Structure 1
Amino acid sequence: MTPGGYFGRALLVEVEGQVAHGSAIDLDQRVLRSYLGGVGLGTWLLHRLAPAGVDPLAPAAPLAFVFSPLVGTPLTTSAKFAVVAKSPLTGLLTDALASSRFAIAGKLTGHDAIVLRGRADVLSVVLVDGAAARLEPAPDLAGLPAAEAEARLRARFGRGWNTAAIGPAGERGVRYATLSHDGRHAGRGGLGAVLGAKNVKAVLVRAATRVAVADQTSVLAAARDLRDRSFGPATAKYRELGTLANLLAFNAVSTLPTRNFTAATFEGAPKLAAEELHELRGVARNSCASCSIGCEHIYSRKGGGRQRMEYENVFALGPLCGVSDPDDVFAASARCDELGIDTISAGGTIAWAMECVERGLLDAPWLRFGDGPALLRALDLIGTVEPGLGELLAQGSRRAAEVVGRGSIDFAPQVKGLELPGYEPRTLQSMALGLAVNARGADHNRSGAYEADLSGELDRLAGGAAHVAAAIGTEDRAAVMDSMILCKFLRGVFTEPFDEWAALLAAVTGWDVTGEELRDTARRIVRAKRAFNVREGATAADDRLPARLLDTPLALGSGRTATLTADRLQAMIAGYYAGRGLDEAGRVRPEDLPDLVLDG
């Protein structure tokens, strides 16, 4: 019997030439209970469907849209889905979460996941309606921003369809191209390039059925309770100012990466701060589908128009590149949306290039820190993959540094090829470990260890055993939230997270699941990610930070410095391996492989 919240099957869509064929993959309860959905189930599907060593941009490389048992319930923030693939930027597993009605409609096609493989002869769109999948040519969408493509597809097929689309960067193979829907983005790791390599501009889904829950009364009661808690103090920051509220706070504690991680405070931060922009530019607040928090803050742009701004895109296109003019940062963020590229990887790669120019390693004298128009020009070169500099930067900072050489890899702001988010590792040493060991690469959403650093309970400037435990704990909590799926902004409303999540899952599915079982599930998902990466060639040498961030003191002002030594980081990595039950090379031990349930 299929548990509540699930259909017990995934749809594999094979795109071949001018047609698409759909076939069902059975997902038994053992698999569903072991991986839940979202990122967890997507990891399991990649193990099963991605040939070992496959090129991420090859037709045989799968791209999975994965739903969760909570999608379609009234539980706040549950209208989310995961996109999972092998990353063209890192060559390893990548996943991204996004919120929109696409999640609800995709689940109600009657599947727990939709997986694409193959390649179309001409630029096309894939439509999934119940058990059927079909391919429709759409060459007229070539070169359009995702939002414009979505509008045309709604006019063509009707408003009953929900769309996930790529921009021109995805079509052109930019390795950090995004996949977008309703103005939101599955951004990191180049998922848009994976879809573009299949010559598919968009995937459209339409609800065709319903999904039952095991205990409707309990689900409704839980939804009311969770909604009430979502209005409390744990989410107040996101409602009032959004994630951009972090900018001044991080600047004050020397953890705002500036000018390609050469500093951790930015003199122009007040001009970009949420407090300033809210007063001068704030025009609206918005919510994702099925969300009661409303963290999205909309600002007016110079010359007209509106722009959604968050901490990560302001950090990456502002302080990291030395740009303090909010009009330039707003314009750069809008350009990334139009092109369909990840703001963090774009900003990190351009900041690296700006430093290369300063050092005489790149011949582009116009590309300088602090120059807003130069930032926009570089984004255009990337989005069009212009021969020369655009083509180089479209590869991401690691690959670009490998081309340029001359020690430039030492200051390329990346881990495993994924550019670092807006957290200075030398002043957040739990986070430093989380960034180094995470399966996706330098990532703040799958390893939110900065929470422990900023809690005041740890010495954030001196990593040790307590920091290891904090990194493992936050990674475990993220693994469950990203698989059930619930928004991370809700994390603070749970007093006993695993027990409370188990209660939600039990009401939906009918399982007698416990908090301890979910802890085991979290560990399984994290191990399965590592196992996939090891299969694809990852080694312990990949669990590291850029040379710039190790053994180089960071000035904090008043004569103080912060240093993360290579030896300290290595000791924490060894502690992480031991805490995860991995071997000394960071691999899943053979006796633990059966627990990953990869055989059924």
Structure 2
Amino acid sequence: MSAGGYFGRAMVVELTGRTATANPLPLDERVLRAYLGGVGLGTWLLHRLAPPGGDPLASAAPLAFVFSPLVGTPLTTSAKFAVVAKSPLTGLLTDALASSQFAISGKLTGHDAIVVRGRADALSVLLIDSDDTAGVRLEPAPELAGLPAAETETAVRERFGRGWRTAAIGPAGERQVRYATISHDGRHAGRGGLGAVLGAKNIKAVAVRAGRKVAVADQPGVLAAARDLRERSFGPATAKYRELGTLANLLAFNAVSTLPTRNFTAATFEGAPALAAEQLHELRGVARNSCASCSIGCEHIYTRRGGGRQRMEYENVFALGPLCGVSEPDDVFAASARCDELGIDTISAGGTIAWAMECVERGLLDAPWLRFGDGAALLRTLEAIGAREPGLGELLAQGSRRAAAAVGHGSIDFAPQVKGLELPGYEPRSLQTMALGLAVNARGADHNRSGAYEADLSGELDRLDGGAAHVAAAIGTEDRAAVMDSMILCKFLRGVFTEPFAEWAALLSTVTGWDVDEPELRATARRIVLAKRVFNAREGATAADDTLPPRMLDTPLRLGSGRVAALTRERLVTMVAGYYAARGLDAEGNPRPEDVAGLLLDG
């Protein structure tokens, strides 16, 4: 009998030709308690199932959909899942979280994770509707080729029935663009190229149908906790997300010179007001929506030129707007919509295109039409990437790091990436806790696994002068993210918890029946962070990868206030060394053998 909230098993699906076979993988309660679910459990599964040094796009490479003990409970924001694989963009561990009914139905197939390996002979849909191996089948679907994910979801429901919940790839995933996404219900598991991994398996969609129930240890306690958490989710900590959504960050970041502009050559954008949530809300706002099982409702919908509606978030506006110098809202809306249709990550798309725009300025690429500020050029380039057109499209489909390696001439120095993953919308030189978080993060340049910008913007640290306090703050945000991404709870809830680890331990205890306390959960966070580093070291990562692009370290940033933001190499190296010491790592960033032995990676 598993703990409450768990089934105690994963399903490993092997694709061979036109068939799919399912093999149960028992999950020991020690492992579940050590890694919880979501990103944590996905990391453990990749250690067990991914061939060392393997090609992320090879048939043997596993792709894991991982649920959590909270999925299916009435706890707000708990309808989330993680997708975990080795990234074709970075060559390292990657994970992406998403919210939708797919999470609930996927778990209620009777599994804590569904892992896909192998390759189908033809483009197919993988259907999973119970824990019985007869409930797993592969259905050829050539008619879905080239369709956007949203149209694929509709086609799957029409063919197989409305009870199915679907995660699908767009045409970019089929063509294995290295930053292709997996989408469902209009939301995306976006970063690191997970859609390319699924496309390499010839799987257009994974469809799941709920057929089981999972018990919790203390049903009355869970209901009481759900009522309390729901009430708190309506408080001031989430007001920004309800009122304007994440796009509210745009003007705020512009005001404090931390809005990356024109491939990180500036940190303020003169066109920011036209793209700001405050203006768009008045002129274009038409609806507000919520993820499945969420009471916050952060999703804001705007009208598009010529009709239609588009969900807009800070990151897609930053990447397709200021980063590329584009200020016309309709161009940014159209680019965001096209990324969704093609199934590509907006951050990596924007970062790679911004790099290419600078290459054109410098005479390194022969595409004179590709200029900063040109919305039509932005859309033209997205089409080329999605189709992997010979020349520019094929080059940029590789991401900025690989593209820079091909172009040469020092262009890697201004490629906006860490470990191959393009930078999100936070300027490291003026947010130096965030700079450290981006440098050491296992996934690469990532704001969700290291929300260290919180410390920079809290007013408690000097965000222009990183030091020991910044190291501690970066570790704190990384640990909190590790637990939230494994339980799984939405990051937008983080402000409602006054004693996060103690409160999360209480939630987990109520669901599972385990006697979890704050020290145990802190140890769990550290274990997950270390397990990611061990996986990456296995795949060739070294301390040299824990850094930032040379532009961030060699070129000071002039701020509107007259101040200069300079992040020197020496300062970053000192902070990284402090991070290693605080994590108990050696000088190369690796855990001690005794710590590795305690990670339970052998089962």
> What TM bracket, shorter-length normalisation?
over 0.9
TM-score normalised to the size of structure 1?
A: 1.00
Residue 581 of structure 1 is aligned with which of 584, 593, 601?
A: 584
Alignment of 1:80-229 (within 5 A): 80-131=80-131, 132-229=135-232
1:279 deviates by 0.1
Read off the aligned partner of 1:523 and give its amino acid letter. Answer: R
2:82 is the alignment partner of 1:79: no
In the other structure, the counterpart of 2:419 is: 416
Structure-1 separation of matches of 2:543 and 2:100: 37
**Unaligned residue ranges in structure 2 (runs of 5+):** none
Q: Corresponding residue for 2:47? A: 47
Structure 2: distance between partners of 1:322 and 1:297: 23
Corresponding residue of 2:526 = 523
Q: CA deviation at 1:559?
A: 3.1
> What whole-Å deviation, never above 9, does each CA across 1:406-462 have from its counterpart, x for those lacking one?
000000000000000000000000000000000000000000000000000000000
Deviation at 1:500, TM superposition (A): 0.2
| Residue matched to 1:355 | 358
Tell me which amino acid in the other structure corresponds to 1:191. L
Partner residue in 1 for 2:286: 283
Q: Counterparts of 1:250 and 1:99 in 2: how far apart (Å)?
A: 26
Name the counterpart of 1:242. 245
Partner of 1:35: 35
Partner residue, 2:23: 23
1:327 aligns with 2:356: no
Distance between the aligned counterparts of 1:2 and 1:295, measured in 2?
A: 35
Give me the whole-angstrom Cα distance separating, in 2, the residues matched to 1:468 and 1:277: 37
The letter for the 2-side match of 1:77 is T
Whether 1:292 aligns to 2:288 is no
Structure 1 distance, partners of 2:59, 2:315, is: 32
C-alpha distance in structure 2 between counterparts of 1:559 and 1:581, whole Å? 39
Residue 392 (str. 1) matches residue 405 (str. 2): no
In the aligned structure 2, how far is the partner of 1:551 from the partner of 1:334?
A: 36
Pick one of 287, 306, 309 that aligns with 2:312.
309
Which of 262, 265, 270 is equivalent to 2:273? Answer: 270
Inter-partner Cα distance in structure 1 for 2:212 and 2:240: 38
CA distance in 1, matches of 2:54, 2:213: 36
The residue number in structure 2 matching 1:469 is 472
Question: Would the aligned equivalents of 2:302 and 2:310 in 1 still touch at CA under 8 Å?
Answer: yes
Give the RMSD, CA atoms, in angstroms. 0.5
1:286-325 CA distances to partner (integer Å, 9 max, x unpaired)?
0000000000000000000000000000000000000000
CA distance in 2, matches of 1:22, 1:262: 51
Counterpart in the other structure of 1:551: 554
1:551 deviates by 3.0
Distance in 2 of aligned mates of 1:262 and 1:93: 29
Provide the C-alpha distance between the structure 2 equivalents of 1:242 and 1:507, rounded to a whole number of angstroms.
31
Shift of 1:593: 1.0
> Matches of 1:137 and 1:348 in 2, distance apart?
35
Question: What's the CA shift string for 1:128-151, capped at 9, x where partnerless?
Answer: 111231100001000000000110
SS of the residue corresponding to residue 283 of structure 1 reads strand
SS in 1 for 2:598: helix
In 2, the alpha carbon distance for the partners of 1:593 and 1:220 equals: 38
Q: Secondary structure at the match of 2:554?
A: coil
Query: How many Å separate the matches in 1 of 2:485 and 2:562?
Result: 42
Q: 1:58 maps to which residue? A: 58
Residues 558, 513 of structure 1: alpha-carbon distance in 2 compared, 3 angstrom cutoff: closer
Q: Deviations over 1:496-528 (max 9, x none)?
A: 000000000000000000011000000000000
SS in 1 for 2:366: coil
Shift of 1:558: 4.4
Give 1:269 shift. Answer: 0.1
Greater alpha carbon shift after TM alignment, 512-521 vs 548-557: 548-557
The AA in structure 2 aligned to 1:93 is L
CA distance in 1, matches of 2:18, 2:147: 21
Q: Does residue 483 of structure 2 align to residue 494 of structure 1?
A: no
Deviates more, 1:124-133 or 1:106-115: 124-133
User: Post-superposition shift, 1:114?
Assistant: 0.1
What do residues 260-293 of structure 1 show as CA deviations (whole Å, max 9, x unaligned)?
0000000000000000000000000000000000
Q: Tell me the SS of whatever aligns to 1:468.
A: helix
Between the aligned partners of 2:11 and 2:295, the Cα distance in structure 1 is: 31
**Separation in structure 1 between the aligned mates of residue 554 and residue 82 of structure 2, nearest angstrom:** 37
Shift of 1:553: 1.1
Amino acid at match of 1:195: L
2:92 partner amino acid:
L
Deviation at 1:557, TM superposition (A): 2.4
Q: Matches of 2:411 and 2:384 in 1, distance apart?
A: 21
C-alpha distance in 2 between matches for 1:262 and 1:599: 46
Question: In the comparison of the two structures, how many residue pairs are matched?
Answer: 600
Partner letter of residue 290 of structure 2? S
- Describe the SS at the equivalent of 1:304: coil
Counterpart amino acid of residue 304 in structure 2: R
Output the amino acid matched with 1:79: A
Output one character per residue of 1:103-153: Cα deviation in whole Å (capped at 9) or x when no partner: 000000000000000000000010011123110000100000000011000
State the alpha-carbon separation in 2 of the partners of residues 311 and 557 from structure 1.
22
CA distance in 1, matches of 2:435, 2:527: 23
Report deviation, 1:15.
0.4
Q: Deviations over 1:165-194 (max 9, x none)?
A: 000000001000000000000000000000
Match of 1:286, as an amino acid? N
User: 3-state DSSP class of the match of 2:114?
Assistant: strand
TM-score of the superposed pair, with normalisation by structure 2: 0.99
Contact 2:257 2:560 in 1 (8 A): no
C-alpha displacement of 1:375: 0.1
Q: CA deviation at 1:594?
A: 1.5
Amino acid at match of 2:124: S
Q: Deviations over 1:346-404 (max 9, x none)?
A: 00000000000000000000000000000000000000000000000000000000000
The match for 1:405 is: 408
Distance 2:592 2:46 in 1: 20
Deviation at 1:588, TM superposition (A): 1.3
Gap regions ≥5 residues in structure 1: none
Q: Distance in 1 between matches of 2:561 and 2:150?
A: 48
> Structure 1: how far apart are the matches of 2:554 and 2:496?
38
Please tell me the residue identity of whatever aligns with 1:252. Answer: A
What is the distance in 1 between the residues matched to 2:511 and 2:540? 38
Q: Indicate yes or no: 2:583 matched with 1:568.
A: no
CA distance in structure 2 between the aligned counterparts of 1:589 and 1:389, rounded to whole angstroms = 45
Secondary structure in 1 matching 2:188: strand
SS at the partner of 2:260? Answer: coil
Match of 2:538 in 1: 535
Paired position in structure 2 for 1:14: 14
Q: 1:507 maps to which residue? A: 510
**Structure 1 SS opposite 2:307:** coil
SS at match of 1:557: coil
Distance in 1 (CA, whole Å) between partners of 2:444 and 2:264 is 17
- C-alpha distance in 2, partners of 1:200/1:558? 52
Q: Which amino acid aligns with 1:295?
A: C
User: Match for 2:546: what amino acid?
Assistant: D
Is the contact between residue 468 and residue 575 of structure 2 (CA under 8 Å) also seen in structure 1?
Answer: yes
